Structure 1
Amino acid sequence: MTEQQQEETTADQLFATIGEQADNESYDENKVVNEIESLCMNCEENGTTKLLLTVIPFFKEVILMSFECPHCGLKNSEIQSAGQIQEKACRYKLRVNSKTDMDRQIVKSEYCVSKFPELDLEIPAQRGQLTTVEGLLGNVLEDIAIGQDVRQTEQPEAYQRIQDFIEKGKKMIEGDAFPFTIIVDDISGNSWIEPKPADAQNVWSRVEYLRSPAQNARLNLGNPEAPNVDDIQPDEVHTFPASCPSCARPCDTHMKLVDIPHFKEVIIMSTACDDCGYKSNEVKTGGQIPPKGRKITLKVDDADDLALDILKSESCALTVPELALDLHPGTLGGRFTTIEGLLAQVYDELYGRVYSGNNDSREPEENKKWETFLGNLTLAREGKKDFTLILDDPLAGSYLQNPYAPDDNPNMTSEEYERTEEQNEDWGLNDMVTSGYEEDETPAVIEAPDFPAGAPAA
């Protein structure tokens, strides 16, 4: 066995699912929960901290920590990401419509801010937590209720306002105030809300956005005072060091600016790891942002259509109604491939997440839904099922090959539309200074946009 294989085997043993580790414990194998004697910050006696390294399905490796002091009875628990800080920040948005949605798992890192807009409630960044929607809201209400007995006597007006707030929150927990919204915003990119197979865009959404220099400074990333580097030049290949997303070893990422005739400038990025063989490529559109968005619709009724080239930008949403497939902006990043290749990437991404590790935490009915969905996706990519492909790009940075050019494709339509105020806000266009900035001695810094809605990962 090679050194690399030994390291991968060790990682698999350390980060197993909770179900697998419970089985190992029952068979008296290696102890999976590590216990460490540690200082109690309440009574300054020694207590016990328990550590469990595990994998959350659909997400990533995490470390569950629990502390208990036998002297004063203090107990607490938290969760920490076992991976690195992600390249981009993330925001999840869930519209809670039923009691089932209240049971969805939530992972909150120590950098995560949670919001309940209907309650006008924002939970600041605090210790990491693995919980559910109901658990998160319930913990908040319990914390707010502390001291209500004293306030009822000394500050009756404040008591009543807080009590009204608590009652409203309890109605949400009991299912008497559906629907309501929960937002999880994490600048480290290590928080998560559990998705479901049939989630529509207005139910579950995920968006990634670039951090501002101030946010990078909070994470101890980079130097916000560092001078800007020169812009990338056409036909010039830039190479910069990076870490492999698969094995975390050093590797190189290459970047080149390419001008596509009759379209626009795009940036091609590729990463290849010599240690584990991981490879990835991504395309980002450059140049001026058009004044209007573009929606391209193609009816795929021939297997030859699967070979058509497609450029899906990072801002593009992809929908296939016949497959119940809805990829939000940001999903898979930018891709330049064929229709068949794009469907294959969606399949591989979903299959890897759905069937990674042990699936004992999912209901049989949910497994059946995933099997049906992936089966229809396979039929479509093999040309055995007709479907409609819709590319909706508010920044008009996506492209679908027309084999009949310069004539129109009878199965394809392309239409421009005015972006909504919300879309302009989502992509930071309302804050852009496009004229008169030369007169300002202080260069304008555009902060990372505050997205109110988002895009789910496949």
Structure 2
Amino acid sequence: MSQRKSDFEDNNINKKPRLDMTQEQNQEQNFFQSVGEAAQTVDQEQVPQQQQQQDEGIRQTGAADAEGHPVQEIDSLCMNCHKDGVTRLLLTSIPYFREVIIMSFECQHCGLKNSEIQPASTIQERGAKYVLKVEDKKDFNKQVVKSESAICKFVELDIEIPAKKGQLTTLEGLLQEMIDDLEMDQPQRKEIQPELYQKIDVFLKKVRSTINCEEGTLPITFYVDDPAGNSWIEYVPGEPQHKWSCIEYQRLPQQNVDLGLVSADEVAQHEQAEAQNNEEKDRNPSATGFISDQTDIENFENEVQSFHATCSSCYKPCSTHMKQVNIPHFKDVIIMSTSCDHCGYKSNEVKTGGAIPDKGKRVKLFCDDAEDLARDILKSETCGLIIPELNLDLTPGTLGGRFTTLEGLLTQVREELHSRVFSQTSDSMEAETKDRWEKFFVKLDEAISGKAKFTVIMEDPLAASYIQNVYAPDPDPNMVIEEFERTDEQNETLGLNDMKV
């Protein structure tokens, strides 16, 4: 953040180039230029100052960040002295993440300064929780994007940073900011509340020793939980599976209210209507709610069922389609699809039926033929997937439940990683990191096209995942199926320790 602030104040580097009419129209459509596109215009003329003043009060400072994005200025009201200050705006994109707006306010009258970050993208369809295992000093230098709706927590230190202004910082920056806030009032506490002063002093020493990675302080767990899905922890390719993970989840009604997506009255009306529906179902338990337009006798095995539901995003009525599918030599699964015509929300998921087995299941498939890519594959939400030859390691919960082919799953993994984690047009990425990503995508493309041999390992503690056996009912010579005992941690995560039947 300090690097970007210095860029704001430097008014003697890269002037904003002048664009011709066609380029100006393209610029209006895409405010977030890549560095490569911006670099192509650095040798053109500077926009006249008078023309900049006419652009709705927004001025170009002539400064730029390290990637060449221009800094803009606009007059703003200072909330401290109520005189005019200056807000500087930088519209930029963060590698491995998405577009953001960095804002810095300064009042020349009273000296008030403030900086924050806001996401330039819309609120995501689902909330996101990022978890990082801090094991060495380098992990404290990882970037963190914390939106104004995100909660950060250092678990072992028992530190929780509530939702407030957005920030672009590092893990060490978050802890150092908290230390500065607590130390500010320590002299007063020493005089007024000496016992509280001692406790806070001991706590601050513990935090500093953790930042310095003293013996016995690491590892610790850090997570960012953002209902808006616009926060992020820096990801480094090739890290072990346990260090970094991302879990997407459905927002609770109150979280939608806090984000301003719906009003509290709409949530109350929805809960009241749901309670009335439950009462009606209790009085008439034979009512299924399914709609069948083919026959008076519903055949649940051979047709798609549709029933009324409520959109989890806007709470308007929508339809959910459900189909029961029998996978040969496996079990019955339920494929569900929800689409809202009001807000455009869509979701797809696959659920397995039947009782929870006593043991988990691990499936290993060696793919040595392009025809193996056409095998059906069911990956549940609790399943982790590893392909050692590609250095691909998907944690449980990634991509949710999917019923597709092996080629379709690999293609989806590539699209997700390339669009959300890797940006090929960003030349701000370190050369070594970019080279590792490019080599990874080359191997992944060879696997998708059937030119490379690889091993797929699926480990599901609920034994709810499946890879098609093309030799069934005979065993597949390239496939190994193993059962394993679940650990206590897995049972706790799945909620099995609390089940009493």
TM-score grouping bracket, smaller chain normalisation: 0.7 to 0.9
Cα pair 1:53 1:64 within 8 Å, conserved: yes
How far residue 403 of structure 1 moved from its aligned partner, in angstroms, is: 0.8
1:170: Cα distance to partner? 2.0
| Paired residue type of 1:295 | R
Q: CA deviation at 1:128?
A: 0.9
Letter paired with 1:160 = Q
The one-letter code sitting in structure 2 at the alignment partner of 1:215 is Q
Distance 1:283 1:157, change over 3 A: closer
**Corresponding residue number in structure 1 for 2:230:** 190
Correspondence 1:139 to 2:177: yes
The structural deviation recorded for 1:428 is: 4.9
Matched with 1:328 is: 395
Match among 239, 247, 251 for residue 207 of structure 1: 247
Offset, 1:8: 10
Task: Out of 368-377 and 20-29, give the one that drifted further.
Answer: 20-29
In structure 1, the residue matched to 2:7 is none
Aligned to 2:189: 151
| Aligned counterparts, 1:159-170, within 5 A | 159-170=197-208
Taking the TM superposition and a 5 Å limit, the aligned residue runs for 1:57-456 are: 57-176=95-214, 177-222=217-262, 223-225=266-268, 226=270, 227-228=273-274, 234=300, 235-237=304-306, 255-262=321-328, 263-269=331-337, 282-288=348-354, 290-292=356-358, 293-356=360-423, 358-428=425-495
**Could you tell me which of 3, 11, 14 is aligned with 2:31?**
14
Q: Deviations over 1:162-183 (max 9, x none)?
A: 1222222222333434433211
Are residues 421 and 12 of structure 1, via their aligned partners in 2, closer, same or farther at CA, if it must alter by over 3 Å? farther
The aligned amino acid for 1:236 is Q
- Which residue type is aligned with residue 229 of structure 2? G
| Alignment CA distance shift 1:45-1:281 (3 Å) | closer
Query: Secondary structure of the residue that 1:14 maps to in structure 2?
Result: coil
Question: Quick one: distance in 2 between partners of 1:166 and 1:304?
Answer: 60
CA distance in 1, matches of 2:28, 2:340: 21
Question: Does the 8 A contact of 2:97 with 2:421 survive in 1?
Answer: no
Contact 2:35 2:426 in 1 (8 A): no
What SS does structure 1 have at the residue aligned with 2:197? helix
TM-score w.r.t. length of structure 2? 0.73
Q: What displacement does 1:365 show?
A: 1.1
Identical-pair percentage: 48
Once residues 498 and 267 of structure 2 are traced to their aligned partners in structure 1, the CA distance between those partners, rounded to angstroms, is 20
Any idea what the Cα deviations from partners look like across 1:231-271, whole Å, max 9, x if unmatched? 6665135699999xxxxxxxx99743232244223224387
Query: Unpaired segments of 5 or more residues in structure 2?
Result: 1-21, 53-59, 61-69, 278-287, 292-299, 313-317
Q: Which moved more, 1:120-129 or 1:81-90?
A: 81-90
Question: Deviation at 1:318?
Answer: 0.8
**Change in CA separation of 1:219 and 1:96 when aligned onto 2, cut-off 3 Å:** same
CA distance in 1, matches of 2:290, 2:117: 40
Distance 1:346 1:132, change over 3 A: same
The superposition leaves residues 99-135 of structure 1 with CA deviations (integer Å, 9 ceiling, x where unpaired) of: 3322211111111111112211111111111111121
> CA separation of 1:342/1:253 partners in 2, compared to 1, >3 Å: closer, same or farther?
farther
SS in 1 for 2:209: helix
How far apart in 2 are the matches of 1:75 and 1:261? Answer: 62
Instruction: Give the Cα separation in 1 of the matches to 2:86 and 2:351.
Output: 52
Aligned amino acid, residue 385 of structure 1? A
Once structures 1 and 2 are overlaid, which stretch shifts more, 331-340 or 183-192? Answer: 331-340
Question: Matches of 2:23 and 2:483 in 1, distance apart?
Answer: 54
Separation of aligned partners in 2, 1:8 and 1:183: 41
Contact 1:17 1:56 in 2 (8 A): no
Bigger relative contact order (CA 8 A; separation at least 6): 1
**Aligned partners of 2:246 and 2:421: how far apart in 1?**
17
**1:40 Cα deviation after fit:** 1.7
In the alignment, is the contact (CA less than 8 A) between 2:306 and 2:319 conserved in 1?
no
Name the counterpart of 2:89.
51
3-state SS in 2 of match to 1:198: coil
Counterpart of 1:441? Answer: none
Contact 1:57 1:357 in 2 (8 A): no
Q: Is the 8 A contact 1:240 1:254 kept in 2?
A: yes
Q: CA RMSD in A?
A: 3.6
Q: Which runs of 5+ in 1 are unaligned?
A: 244-251, 436-458
Q: Partners in 1 of 2:386 and 2:89 — Cα distance? A: 42
The alpha-carbon deviation at position 22 of structure 1 amounts to 8.3
Q: Secondary structure at the match of 2:103?
A: strand
Between structure 1 and structure 2, the one with the greater Rg is 2
Contact 1:239 1:255 in 2 (8 A): no
Contact 2:289 2:307 survives alignment (8 Å): no
- The one-letter code sitting in structure 1 at the alignment partner of 2:92 is T
- CA shift at 1:400, angstroms? 0.9
Question: What's the TM-score once normalised by structure 1's chain length?
Answer: 0.79
CA apart distance, 1:417: 4.0
User: Displacement of 1:354 after TM fit?
Assistant: 4.8
**Change over 3 Å in CA distance of 1:261–1:381 after alignment to 2:** closer
State the one-letter code of the partner of 1:117. V
